[in-house]
Amino acid sequence: MLKTQIMKMSELKKATYATAFAVGVALVWLYFCIFRVSNATTLVILLSAAILTVFSIISTSKLRYLLLLFLSAALLLFMFIRREGSTLFMLSVVARFAVYGLLIAFFGTLLSQVTQRMYLDMQRVASEREEALSQSRQWLARLNALVRVISAISTKNRLREIFTESLKEARKVFNADSGLIYSVNRETGKLSVVSSFGYRPEILEKMKEKGIGDISSCLACQQMGTVAVDDLATDEKCQNLARVNTGSCICLPITSGDTLWGVLHIRRRYPDAFTPEGIQLAQAMTYQFGLAMQRASLFDQINLLAITDPLTGLYNYRKLGRDLPREFVRSERYQHQFSFIMADIDHFKSFNDTYGHQAGDAVLRGVARAMEKGRREVDRVYRYGGEEFSILLPETDWPEALEVAEKIRKSVESLAVEAEDGEGPLKVSISMGVAAFPGDSGEPEGLIGAADEALYAAKESGRNRTLTYAELVECPRERARPDKPAV
């Protein structure tokens, strides 16, 4: 482009020199045009020359020659009316003026053409530069939008928070009229709505009640790539968009590596609303969403490992240390009761001594599964340590807790644990102690101590039984209960 501009400038320079020389010659020739004519005729000639010169320089039209013919005829008529000398003299003056006009018209037009070409070229270059600047601004705006997205989600460590914040930023960037983020259950492949905007509440309720389907119903999930629908009224689309007939949309899978976390769907109310550049920006955004979700998943896994017993999969003592004080605060605020159970596997040391530690681990896992299966949905089971377990029962008084404990005890009693070394089936039983807030204690340590004291009494009275601290306080001498077998 620079070489072309240099050539254009050289051409303009040559045309300017030629025109300057021609104008100089024409001015000298103009002197001969006005030689020995009256002042009035001189004024007409000069005025006609000025008009013709200006028109020839600013215009490339061939009308300049018609203008020259008209001015020459007007000059001849003017001289004829004034009887400016003989006919031959008048014709010679007009002829000299015509020669002047031809010089000016030709070289003035030549300069005008070169100048106009230069102007058009400069205008084109300016337009190209403006377009490039506009594209740079657009890309800068997209880059800023991507930076905002990264900043918004970089501090989030929960998947639901990231889903919500991601959709919020996508709405800003694309000025979308409606949008959804589906999460994908990696075990079942089911899709569920976790965040949305632009939808009426009743529509969202129906979507949540009926469900969206699984990944087989979503083209973006099937293709693991962006699906853009330029016109929802006519173009092909997946069954999830069957009832949407206006506007355009894009659906993008949110992934990290080979893991599918969810799907971003955004729609605008008019067709062809998403440019290729906009789709690229959306892809860059969903890539960041995927990285954030991977980070949040790892964060959740680390947190889960910190509060989970690796052998049994139950919550550990660390988790109990967090949950029990919270339950005290909640129950005190709302004036609720709750119960706490301590459980211990009977004769567990003999399992380890007789069958080995692998058999002991199998017993621990079997008892943990039985306790998880026997608990209510609101209850939480913990491995307290060693062969001891504990259960937190919200909004439960000790009589109801006793029923839950007995159900779990009987479930464990019916177990037949298969050891890995082929020994078995091994029979196992547990003893349990129950304490309740606020009747048995008003503080965490006291409640644990009350449940542990009831557990000790159950083991002392024959094992494979459940005792409550309330019963222990009422009948301190009657440690054993005749309706429960002793082991």
Q: pLDDT digits over 361-419, tens only?
A: 889 999 999 999 999 999 999 999 999 999 999 999 999 999 999 999 999 999 888 76
User: Tokens for 223?
Assistant: 């293709």
Q: What is the pLDDT of residue 481?
A: 39
Report which of 373, 378, 473 is spatially closest to residue 433, judged by C-alpha positions: 473
User: Tokens for 114?
Assistant: 């070169």
Using DSSP bridges, classify how beta strands 227-229 and 259-268 pair: parallel, antiparallel or unpaired: unpaired
- Write the pLDDT tens digit of every residue in 109-168: 666 666 666 666 777 777 778 877 877 776 777 777 777 777 767 777 777 777 788 788
Q: What is the pLDDT of residue 480?
A: 39
DSSP 8-state assignment for residue 419: P
Contact 450, 435 (CB under 8 A): yes
On whether the pTM is more than 0.85, the answer is no
Q: What is the pLDDT of residue 486?
A: 35
C-alpha 462/C-alpha 455 separation (Å) is 11
How buried is residue 334: exposed, middle or buried, by Cβ count under 10 Å (0-12/13-18/19+)?
exposed
CB count within 10 Å of CB 349 equals: 11
* CB contact set of 186 (below 8 Å; sequence gap of 6+): 259, 260
The DSSP code sequence of 126-187 is HHHHHHHHHHHHHHHHHHHHHHHHHHHHHT--SHHHHHHHHHHHHHHHHT-SEEEEEEE-TT
SS3 assignment, position 229: strand
C-alpha 142/C-alpha 211 separation (Å) is 34
Rg (CA), the chain: 48
- Write the pLDDT tens digit of every residue in 318-350: 999 999 999 999 999 999 999 999 999 999 988
